[in-house]
Amino acid sequence: MRISPADAGGGILFCRTDLKPELKVRANIQHVRSDELRQTALVVGEGVIRTVEHLMAAFHGLGVDNALVEVEGDEIPAMDGSAREFAEVFIRTGLVEQDAERQYLEIKSPVFVDHGDQSIVMLPADHLEISYTLSYRHSDLKDQFLSLRIIPEIFERELASARTFCLKDEAQLLLSQGFGKGANLTNTLVFEQNSPIDNTLRYDNEACRHKIMDLLGDLYLGGHFVKGHIIANRSGHNLNVEFVRKMLMSAEKNPPSIPETLNVQDIQKIIPHRYPFLFVDRIEQFKPGVSAVGFKQVSSNDYFFQGHFPGHPVMPGVLIIEAMAQVGGVIMLSKPENRDKIAYFMSIDSAKFRQPVVPGHELRMEVEVVKIRAKTGQCVGRAYVGDKLVCEAEVKFAVVDQ
């Protein structure tokens, strides 16, 4: 396995170097293979990558937004049965801050799945906290409980070293069925009478800590860092995955509220444009899916004046239309069903340029949606300098997945 940096916004990507190295699949719930036992697997093209949960926990716990994981074979290396070696190498190598805002998955009301003796509940919170009860009601493993707020320092100290485990009778059954061939007493704690066979615990409640780590890894399959208080009882990978699906449905029904005024950082969370091709400084009177007013301060330092009439600087008309279109893109892509998508031009109609725009002017762009469908949208935009209309146009977009 080889892990490399990835571009901002790329997420956690996996590929099988022994199958199709060019095929990179994002680690999210849509690619989870549902018929796997006691671990989490991702479908990658015609292959699969098993046991991704410990690595995903290290990414989630240490705050890694973007990475490319190249795997030769169908399983992440087991290491010592924990995430310790992954965490150590990430910390030793170092993380790089990228020029993008972190995205979070949040809810506004409680979400839960309940299967009787197994359950997960999520309550709204402004941070991530996991409270876990491990109760097998079995003489080989006593009940355990732990509650932790998840930040990188706590993950490294309290969770990363917790190893995978099972009960002695479970181990015997799994081996008889042909599972667990790579497991041994050094990378798996096998409990008998509340103690691991031929091994020593790193924590008194190591089994509970490992369950929190597994849950942390599975939660990251929501595609973003999670904010909320998770209260889990005896959950396993299948229940974790079921919960993530329900959590995503709830988050889509209750998206984070968007303020009426957006700054550059807010705008960059919605559309992919960046310097030097972001032509909107702020947005006011913002009504997602309906209308907005955008502003652009035209400066002599803008790059296009270096070659566009340098002796008589005039902002190119096509860039005024582009600026209005970017405001239109923010309006459309702010709708919950269009999050993480891209708007492409389909057509520009009825464009008229009425006044020149020069350095020192502030463009005010009033844009409204006149038609919006599942995969297309049409906007009307008018750009002003003061009370003078300088440009107007109708633009049509295609909304597509990234």
- Clarify whether 273 is annotated catalytic: no
* Burial (CB count within 10 angstroms: exposed 0-12, middle 13-18, buried 19+), residue 247: buried
Q: What kind and span of H or E run contains 248? A: helix 237-253
AA identity, residue 60: H
The catalytic position among 31, 138, 273, 308 is: 308
Cα 387 versus chain centre, distance: 42
Reference 154, options 51, 68, 89, 57; nearest CA is: 57
Residue 399 · residue 338 · CB < 8 Å: yes
Of residues 321, 331, 245, the one with CA closest to residue 286: 331
CB 400 within 8 A of CB 375: yes
Q: Note if 54 is an active site residue.
A: no
Query: Which residue from 141, 171, 155, 26 is spatially nearest to 90, judged by alpha carbons?
Result: 155
Coil, strand or helix at 271: coil
**Which residue of the set 54, 210, 237, 361 is catalytic?**
237
Contact of 159 with 148, CB cutoff 8 Å: yes
Selection from 139, 120, 258, 136 nearest residue 193 by Cα: 139
Encoded tokens for 166 = 């099972």
Cβ pair 292, 250 in contact under 8 A: no
Pairing of β 67-71 and β 12-16: parallel
**Contact between residue 15 and residue 83 where contact means Cβ atoms under 8 Å apart:** no
Q: Which positions are annotated as active-site residues?
A: 237, 308
